[in-house]
């Protein structure tokens, strides 16, 4: 992790969401233990969800749509 890549963006309800290299960070309810990424590549809530590498780039499996 690179602390210089941490930030935040406005979020609904006058709050904010933590970002890493500009990507919003969320947890997925089924990812219950370290190393589990059930939410990886799911198309939910208007877009695909990907795990972020320490360099701030999404991990997009071959054949999946690019992160936007």
Instruction: For residue range 14-34, list pLDDT tens digits in order.
Output: 899 999 999 999 889 999 999
pLDDT at 35 over 90: no
For the chain, what is the mean pLDDT? 91
- CA–CA separation, 19 vs 26, rounded Å? 9
- CA–CA separation, 10 vs 33, rounded Å? 28
Q: What is the DSSP letter of 64?
A: S
Residue-level pLDDT at 15:
93
Residue 35: CB partners within 8 Å, gap ≥ 6? Answer: none
- Model confidence at 47, pLDDT cuts 50, 70, 90, reads confident
Residue-level pLDDT at 58:
93
**pTM, 2 dp:** 0.76
66: its two tokens: 């690019």
């Amino acid at each position: 992790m690179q602390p210089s890549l941490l930030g935040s963006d406005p979020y609904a309800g006058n709050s904010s969401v933590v970002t890493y290299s500009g990507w919003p960070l969320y947890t997925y309810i089924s990812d219950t233990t370290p190393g589990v990424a059930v939410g990886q590549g799911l198309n939910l809530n208007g877009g695909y969800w990907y795990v972020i590498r320490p360099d701030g780039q999404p991990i997009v499996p071959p054949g999946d749509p690019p992160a936007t």
